[in-house]
Amino acid sequence: MDPSIIGIGTDSIGETHMKIAFIGSGHVGPALAKLAIKAGHEVTLANRHGADSLKDIVAGLGPKAKAVNLADIAEGQDLIVLAVPYNQIKNIDSDLLRDKKVIDASNYFPQRDGQNTDLITHKIASSQLVANHFHGSEVAKAFNTFSVANLDSLAKAAGAPDRIVMTVAGDGEVKKIATDLISEIGFQPYDAGSLAESFKIQADGPIFGFQGTLDEITKKLA
Ligand X SMILES: NC(=O)c1ccc[n+]([C@@H]2O[C@H](COP(=O)([O-])OP(=O)(O)OC[C@H]3O[C@@H](n4cnc5c(N)ncnc54)[C@H](OP(=O)(O)O)[C@@H]3O)[C@@H](O)[C@H]2O)c1
Residue numbers at the binding site for ligand X (CB under 6 A)? 23-28, 47-49, 70, 83-86, 88, 91-92, 105-107, 143-144, 147-148
Minimum distance from residue 127 beta carbon to ligand X (Å): 11
Q: Which one, 43 or 84, has the nearer CB to ligand X? A: 84
Q: How many CB atoms lie within 10 A of CB 160?
A: 14
Q: Which residue is nearest to ligand X (CB)?
A: 26
Minimum distance from residue 51 beta carbon to ligand X (Å): 11
Minimum distance from residue 83 beta carbon to ligand X (Å): 5
As a residue count, the chain comes to 222
SS3 129: helix
Q: Which one, 6 or 89, has the nearer CB to ligand X? A: 89
Cα separation, 145 vs 205, in Å, equals 9
Minimum distance from residue 112 beta carbon to ligand X (Å): 8
Q: Report in angstroms the alpha-carbon separations of 216 from 98, 159, 161, 208.
A: 38, 16, 12, 14
Minimum distance from residue 207 beta carbon to ligand X (Å): 12
Q: Which residues, 6+ apart, have CB-to-CB distance to 166 below 8 Å?
A: 142, 143, 145, 182, 187, 188, 189, 190
Q: Which one, 8 or 166, has the nearer CB to ligand X? A: 166
Minimum distance from residue 109 beta carbon to ligand X (Å): 7
Closest among 192, 184, 181, 185 to 214, alpha carbons compared: 192
Q: How many CB atoms lie within 10 A of CB 188?
A: 20
Q: Which one, 26 or 205, has the nearer CB to ligand X? A: 26
SS3 74: coil
Q: Which one, 106 or 127, has the nearer CB to ligand X? A: 106
Q: Which one, 70 or 124, has the nearer CB to ligand X? A: 70
Q: Please give the torsion angle defined by the CA atoms of residues 21, 38, 106 and 104, in that order, rounded to the nearest 10 degrees.
A: 60
